[in-house]
Structure 1
Amino acid sequence: MQIVIGDILKADDLASVRKALANVRFIDGKETAGFAARRVKDNQQADASDRSLDPARALVAKRIMDNELFGMAVRPKQLSGLLFSRYEPGMQYGVHVDDALMQGMRTDVAFTLFLDDPADYDGGELVIEAPGGDDEIKLPAGSMIAYPATTLHRVAQVTRGHRHVVAGWARSFVRDPAQRELLFDLDTARRIMFSRDGKSAEFDLISKSLANLMRMWVDD
């Protein structure tokens, strides 16, 4: 399941992150790529050893983990270290699949948080391959897409301006993506029912089923 989540970062958050990025050192993105992805990765990443970025990294992680929709869709147990990436004109990231393990953590869900206004750069779409055709994603600043880390995907070449994003991965309490989607649908349905009818016998039954499916499927 793919899900777009708007306003992960508000205007003040974006200003704070952009200010931090303006003063950090960027390095060749190939340094954090696997042996195969290294051949198709052409971008820059904020130097992870630069501690000045820690407050921005902590802020973004908190906003993501505190987001209710992200919690429902991903059931996150843990986030990886966040990567702050920059693409200059001519840069792109070819087709690749993310590593199954990062920093000793299983990667179930990948996410990309956009930091620039789409009008400020051309190209740079996140392209996710799917049986029905490629999905091209380019979101407003502060918005994020989360998608299964199992997919082949790429970043289209940037032809004007600069593209800044935060990339990261989540380990989910629920490993199976189909199970996560079913839990998301049930949780969404019961919340709609509660907002419309309040607490009811039907709401209680759906809540019971949701809780018991979680007990069956959660890997704690």
Structure 2
Amino acid sequence: MIIHLKEVISKDELQSMRTILESPGTPWIEGKKTAGTQAQLVKNNEQLQSGSEQAKRLRKIVLDALKRNPIFFAAALPKKIFNPMFNRYRPEAPTYGPHIDGAILYSHDDSFWVRGDISCTLFLSDPDEYDGGELIVHDVSGINRLKLPAGDAILYPGGSLHSVSPVVRGVRLASFFWIESMVRNVEQRKILFELDKNILSLRSAIGECEQTVALTGIYHNLLRLWGDTL
């Protein structure tokens, strides 16, 4: 299930983030230093040093934005979020080849383990600022080439083969992170998300009624059946 989240962060938040990311003092490191053995062979980008003050300020902006986004909650049903990180692609460090993210990740900043049920990329550069740099995700629907407006995010299954095509002009800035969902099974999450969307649509069309109450009850009973908060 691939879901496009629009305007996750505001224009003011985006401007603040860009100012930090583009400052001369921002500590960028080789991306392969943070990668596993397999990923090191295909990773050629730059990553913001995760323990830096800049990274901490940026993470707070992203996490605060996610908390207020109802579509993110409905689609991901988040139990844990691996602390958001930030990367940069440019012709000098242009690409990340095909790879699959690790299943279990340890968040040093928060001192907990996260199962990567869902991967997320939050775009911080507009498509016309760089050539190349598409996020390429392989899933049951085929090959998806994604290049979203700054401030938008994409959710996709954590076990998907994916890559970033080479940036040949400009700079591509993004945040990336993983989510452990209360509902582990992707098909169950899809059912709950579609049910939630249709309940909201029905309620908007006809208001609260016996049917919307009943469907809401079904939604929550399924969430009780499939959800895990431990």
Q: Give the TM-score normalised by the residue count of structure 1.
A: 0.97
- Three-state SS of the structure 2 residue aligned to 1:191 is helix
Aligned to 1:169: 178
Identity %: 37
Regions of 4+ moved over 4 Å: none
Unaligned runs of 5+ in 2: 107-112
Aligned length: 220
Match of 1:161, as an amino acid?
G
Q: C-alpha separation between the residues in 1 aligned to 2:127 and 2:208?
A: 42
- Matching residue of 2:17: 17
Residue in 1 aligned with 2:103?
A: 100
1:93-145 alpha-carbon deviations (Å, 9 max, x no partner): 00000000111211110000111111010000000113443100000010000
Q: Could you tell me which residue of structure 1 aligns to residue 7 of structure 2?
A: 7
CA distance in structure 1 between the partners assigned to 2:11 and 2:206 by the alignment? 35
1:41 matched to 2:49? The reply is no
**2:73 aligned residue:** 71
- Is 11-20 or 47-56 further displaced after alignment? 47-56
CA drift at 1:53: 2.9
Look up the equivalent residue of 1:102 and give its one-letter code. L
Cα drift, residue 198 of structure 1: 1.0
Question: Taking structure 2 as the reference length, what is the TM-score of the superposition?
Answer: 0.93
Whole-angstrom CA distance in 2 between matches of 1:86 and 1:198: 46
Match of 2:187 in 1: 178
Q: Distance between the aligned counterparts of 1:198 and 1:205, measured in 2?
A: 13
* CA-CA distance at 1:22 after TM superposition: 2.2
Instruction: Pick from 31, 34, 48 the counterpart of residue 32 of structure 1.
Output: 34
| Residue 124 (structure 1) aligned to one of 133, 144, 151 | 133
SS of the residue aligned with 2:139? coil
Match for residue 217 of structure 1? 226
RMSD, aligned CA: 1.0
Correspondence for 1:62:
64
Unaligned runs of at least 5 residues, structure 1 = none
CA distance in 1, matches of 2:171, 2:36: 24
Deviations 1:62-105 (A, max 9, x none): 10232100111110111101111001115110000000011121
- 1:112 is paired with a residue of what secondary structure? strand
Counterpart in the other structure of 1:153: 162
Residues 7-54 of structure 1: CA distance to partner in whole angstroms, max 9, x if unpaired? 111110011101111231100001111110111000000011212331
Q: Distance in 2 between matches of 1:117 and 1:38?
A: 27
Instruction: Work out the CA distance in 1 between the residues paired with 2:59 and 2:47.
Output: 13
Report the 3-state secondary structure (helix = DSSP H, G, I; strand = E; otherwise coil) of the residue aligned with 2:125.
Answer: coil
